[in-house]
Amino acid sequence: MTNSASETLIEMQNVDKFFGTFQALKNINLEVKRGEKIVVCGPSGSGKSTMIRCINRLEKHDQGHIIIAGKELTDDVKDIDAVRREVGMVFQSFNLFPHMTIVKNLMLAQRLVRKINKVEARETAMHFLERVKIAEQAEKYPVQLSGGQQQRVAIARALCMKPEIILFDEPTSALDPEMINEVLEVMTDLAKEGMTMICVTHEMGFARSVADRVIFMDAGEIVEEAEPEEFFKNPRNERTKKFLSQILTH
């Protein structure tokens, strides 16, 4: 794999997704290059989460093509596993393994998926726990940590797999306000280091300072796609304008 900056890591072509008769995604076309940071926003039910969940096959798309780091997602389990190894994900509700200590949370997939030995897996785990400034909590259980701490652990857990891409599905929506910044700081650091990121979030400050592009979705479609400056100053679509006026006036 080359490291050229223009290399396309994520490609979605004409992707449709149905839940029963409800069309959750309509003709999604998206291209993300290595190192790009994309922020996805839009009203609830607009398909933002569904879109990024299709990227690591937590949802199966019905039409179109999704190609991740050169591998197309099909029903082939091998390809799905290969893609999941390259794509990390951080969830709204953290989804840590409740029955394992923090450090074991970070070691499990390294051991089972990457086949890394215990000592090395623990070293990697501690390295990333230090990076999210939470190493002293390594032997605790998730329930003993605050929401913000749990989310930082979840980010560290994704990083342990050394992914090419990290997907964030509303990572701060379940947090108390005073904990949002500690998570956004970690995300901002990651962005600065050149991680390829797609973040579904309504943190517009984060979008402004970090995103290369902002995508606005509504009713399963990508309605608008622009650089943050342009997106916030001159939204072209009526739906975008309405949405921005609703979330920015408070």
Partner 1 sequence: MIFDLSLIADSIPKMLAGIGITFQLMALSAFLGLILAVILLLMRISGKWYLSWPAQVHIYVFRGTPILVQIFIIYYGFPQFEFIRESIFWPILREPFGCAVVALSLNTGAYVSEILRGGVLGVDRGVLEAGSALGLSARHKFIYLTTPIAARLALPAYSNDFISLMKATSLASTITLMDMTGIARTIVAQTFAPYEIFISLAIIYMVLTWGIQKTFGRIEKYLSRYVKP
Q: Which of 39, 73, 107, 158 binds partner 1 (CB under 8 A)?
A: 158
Q: Which of 17, 61, 152, 157 binds partner 1 (CB under 8 A)?
A: 157
**Contact region for partner 1 (CB under 8 A) — 41-49, 86-94, 125-133, 186-194?**
86-94
50 binds partner 1 (CB under 8 A): no
Q: How far apart are CA 46 and CA 68, in angstroms?
A: 23
**Contact region for partner 1 (CB under 8 A) — 53-61, 67-75, 123-131, 189-197?**
53-61
Q: Which of 16, 97, 241, 244 binds partner 1 (CB under 8 A)?
A: 97
Host H or E run for residue 235: none
Write down the least CB distance from residue 75 to partner 1, Å.
14
Query: Is 226 strand, coil or helix?
Result: strand
Write down the least CB distance from residue 225 to partner 1, Å.
25
DSSP letters spanning 121-146: HHHHHHHHHHHTT-GGGTTS-GGGS-
76 binds partner 1 (CB under 8 A): no
Is residue 248 within 8 Å of 235, Cβ to Cβ?
no
Kindly report the number of other CB atoms within 10 A of residue 161's CB atom: 20
Q: How far apart are CA 120 and CA 166, in angstroms?
A: 22
Taking the CA atoms of the chain, what radius of gyration do you get in angstroms?
Answer: 18
Single-letter amino acid, residue 136? E
108 binds partner 1 (CB under 8 A): yes
Q: How far apart are CA 42 and CA 229, in angstroms?
A: 17
Q: Which of 63, 64, 141, 173 binds partner 1 (CB under 8 A)?
A: 141
Host H or E run for residue 46: none
117 binds partner 1 (CB under 8 A): no
Q: Which of 165, 170, 154, 166 is nearest to 46 (CA)?
A: 170
142 binds partner 1 (CB under 8 A): yes
Q: Which of 39, 69, 73, 91 binds partner 1 (CB under 8 A)?
A: 91
147 binds partner 1 (CB under 8 A): no
Continuous H helices in the chain: 48-55, 77-86, 102-112, 118-131, 147-160, 177-192, 204-210, 228-233, 238-248
Write down the least CB distance from residue 102 to partner 1, Å.
11
200 binds partner 1 (CB under 8 A): no
250 binds partner 1 (CB under 8 A): no
Write down the least CB distance from residue 116 to partner 1, Å.
13
- State the residues that interact with partner 1 by CB under 8 A: 56-58, 81, 84-85, 87-89, 91, 93, 95-100, 108-109, 112-113, 141-144, 154, 157-158, 161
